Amino acid sequence: MRVWIIVGVAVGLVAGLFLVTITVTSVVNTQQQALNLFRMANCNAAIGPWADTVGDAAAGEGLAGRLSADQRGIAAQIISIGKGRQLPPLAWQVAIQAGMQESSLTNVTHGDAAGPDSRGIFQMRFTMGWGTEAQLLDINYEVNKFYDVLTKIPNWQQLRPGDAAQAVERSAFPGAYDKWEAMAADLIKTVGDIADPTGCGQQAGLAGLALPANQAAAKAIAYAMQQLGKPYIWGGNGPVGYDCSGLMQQAYLAAGIQLPRVAADQYHAGAMLPVDQAQPGDLVFLATDKSNLATIHHVAMYLGDHKIIEAQDFGIPIHIRPFSFTEAEVVPQAVRPGV
């Protein structure tokens, strides 16, 4: 008897290790899908010239090619600091456009008739609370200060780069920053080593994945992806952990759309469509009795390619899993919030 127990335990251990291997492989695969979808969700066509014409790209390359080594060095520092702060390429672009307009990407040590107290790359004024005169000549301080102000502007990532630069600088010539858009984009590509800064070009590695249903969906996906691995918490509304509807509510709140708090109410918070026509960002629901919507007990976000992201249950971190439209409890309608 003991021999069979030992054999049984050994077989169980082998089976367990096999299941762990499968689980780890699955996690790696879903994390790669998450990365791909996160890149897609963060696609930002505001960065030119990928959003414009080939001529703009050529013009930007020409302007960038005429910069001195010192100017390119300052652009490189702007990009390096932005990367270090994990800011998206759009932030680097805004800072480069502002710096080019204000100082031609030069760390100016003096002001002018219009602003005798202005200093540095961004012509910040030491009499207006931007910092001391010495600080405004310290490139690390200047660039970080610019990013500090930029990232506090509501919805700055939805603004055209020149408009975001103006929101920081508050210039008397608000349209002046736009003319450096293509040049800044070229610097992001060449100095920043970002082949496609928008993420909207050819989506390498995204085969089989559909585009998000709309811009709000893209933002909601991006938020949800950032929560991967956090714990399921009953009634959780973030940021430490979430339950299923809490995750969906906060994801869409990040996209500017207010959803009700519980799953059954979220079912009525958008346009309905057949679940098998769901697109990334749409909400899918599970119900104990699909003919009785009062029994809806779970909501998840569809990601395309037959995958969902969800806060599933106690002891299970927020994750991506395979999903079938024909699962036993899947409600026949999906919901597109904000439509």
What is the pLDDT at residue 6?
40
Where do we find the tokens 């414009």?
A: 52
Assess whether 173 and 279 both reside in one domain.
Answer: no
For every residue of 167-201, DSSP letters joined together read HHH--S-GGGGGGGHHHHHHHHHHTS--SSTTS-S
Task: Report DSSP state, residue 283.
Answer: E
* Residues of the chain by 3-state class (helix, strand, coil), percent to 5: 45, 10, 40
Q: Tell me which residue range forms the domain holding 223.
A: 30-41+208-337
- Residues 152 and 249 reside in one and the same domain: no
Cβ neighbours of residue 54 under 8 Å, at least 6 residues apart?
none
- In the prediction, which pLDDT does 230 show? 93
Residue 25 inside a domain? The answer is: no
Confirm whether 62 is domain-assigned. Answer: yes
Residue 211: per-residue pLDDT = 54
268 within 8 A of 261, measured Cβ to Cβ: no
State the Cα–Cα distance between residues 8 and 91, nearest whole angstrom. Answer: 59
Q: How far is it, in rounded angstroms, from Cα 136 to Cα 268?
A: 53
Quick check: is 182 in a domain? yes
Domain assignment present for residue 12? The answer is no
Same domain, residue pair 71 and 180? yes
**Residue 205 belongs to what H/E stretch?**
none
**Same structural domain, 35 and 59:** no
Q: What is the CATH number of the domain that holds 247?
A: 3.90.1720.10
What's the burial of 169, exposed, middle or buried (CB within 10 Å: 0-12/13-18/19+)? buried
Residues 168 and 255 in one domain: no
Closest CA to 151 of 81, 214, 212, 200: 81
48, part of any domain: no
Tally of domains in the chain: 2
* pLDDT given at position 198: 54
pTM of this structure: 0.48
Helix axes 181-190, 89-103, angle to 10 degrees: 130
Q: CA–CA separation, 298 vs 86, rounded Å?
A: 34
CA angle 107, 108, 111 (to 5 degrees): 150
Residue 56: per-residue pLDDT = 62
Contacts of 201 (CB under 8 A, 6+ apart): 50, 195
230 and 126 housed in the same domain: no
Cis, peptide link before residue 49, omega less than 30° from 0: yes
Distance CA(95)–CA(266), nearest Å, equals 40
Q: Is residue 200 part of a domain?
A: no
What is the chain's pLDDT, residue by residue, as a tens digit (339 residues)?
Answer: 444 444 443 444 344 433 333 333 343 344 444 444 444 444 454 454 443 433 466 778 889 999 999 999 999 999 999 999 888 888 999 999 999 999 999 998 876 655 677 888 998 887 777 888 888 889 999 999 999 999 999 878 778 888 899 999 888 888 888 889 889 988 988 898 876 665 544 333 333 444 566 778 988 998 999 899 999 999 999 999 999 999 999 999 999 999 999 999 999 999 999 999 999 999 999 999 988 999 999 999 999 889 999 999 999 999 999 999 999 999 999 999 987
255 occurs within a structural domain: yes
What are the φ and ψ backbone dihedral angles of 115, each rounded to 5 degrees?
-150, 75
Distance from chain centroid for Cα 51: 18
Q: Dihedral sign, CA of 277, 280, 282, 285?
A: positive
